[in-house]
Amino acid sequence: MLIAFHKPMNVLCQFTDRSRPARPTLAAFGLPKGVYAAGRLDFDSEGLLLLTDDGALVAAIGSPKFDWPKTYLVQVEGRPTDEALRQLRDGLVLNDGPTRPAEVEAIDRPAWLPQRVPPVRVRQTVPDAWLRLTIREGRNRQVRRMSAAVGLPTLRLVRVGIGPYALDGLAAGQWRQLAAPEQVAPRRRSGAPSVATRSTAASARPAASSGLIRPWKRDGR
């Protein structure tokens, strides 16, 4: 079983929390029993989270060997310069070592993306901008650290793609069952991970009827 879930901001990627007071968890969203997160998404980030009951799939999605790209929409403080974008594309040196080159471009604010709850605190005297950023590794808070390293602190972070799956039509807190890959092979030299999916149709769970989960394409269409 493979589930696509739109994680809201300030929700943990787990089903229990022993801290006091307890923080919101995945248990509040009616997800199927026996699934758990394949990878992670920061507590204060939003967007696509894959959940499964298949341990091998969890390992594949999280392993650098399989090279699944992860795509984010990032609202940053400041205006990205050509030099800042070049540094992100070429790779940066963070406190835990150099990053791999990223795919990044400046974009307009995504019209389909609703305002965040709680709203982003934007300083009136400082401009903000949006980036589409794709990385092929998953260090702790990596995107936030990368943007900060080039002088563009992250204000809002929304993951919209993981490998062949994208966040289309799912509102925050909604989920849908997907056709899970039968096998996941290491990334080919062509640049695309080899993913064979079952032919059975994905079954819909609480989600907008007009939305689709479909393979992520760079232009978002």
Domain range summary for the chain, segments of one domain joined by + = 1-65+163-221, 69-162
Tens of pLDDT, residue by residue over 123-135, are 888 899 999 999 9
Tens of pLDDT, residue by residue over 75-114, are 999 999 999 999 999 999 999 999 999 999 999 999 999 9
Q: How far apart are CA 67 and CA 187, in angstroms?
A: 6
Q: Which fold has domain 69-162?
A: Alpha-Beta Plaits (3.30.70)
| Residue 185 contacts residue 193 (beta carbons within 8 Å) | yes
Q: Do domains 1-65+163-221 and 69-162 have the same CATH topology?
A: yes
Task: Specify burial of residue 114 (Cβ count, 10 A radius: 0-12, 13-18, 19+).
Answer: exposed
Q: The whole model's pTM is what?
A: 0.82
Q: How far apart are CA 90 and CA 103, in angstroms?
A: 9
| Residue 72 contacts residue 159 (beta carbons within 8 Å) | yes
Q: Which fold has domain 1-65+163-221?
A: Alpha-Beta Plaits (3.30.70)
Nearest CA among 160, 172, 173 for reference residue 213 = 160
Nearest CA among 22, 15, 40 for reference residue 162 = 40
* Residue 42 falls in the annotated catalytic set: yes
Catalytic residue among 42, 53, 54, 67: 42
197 HSE (CA, 13 A, CB side): 15
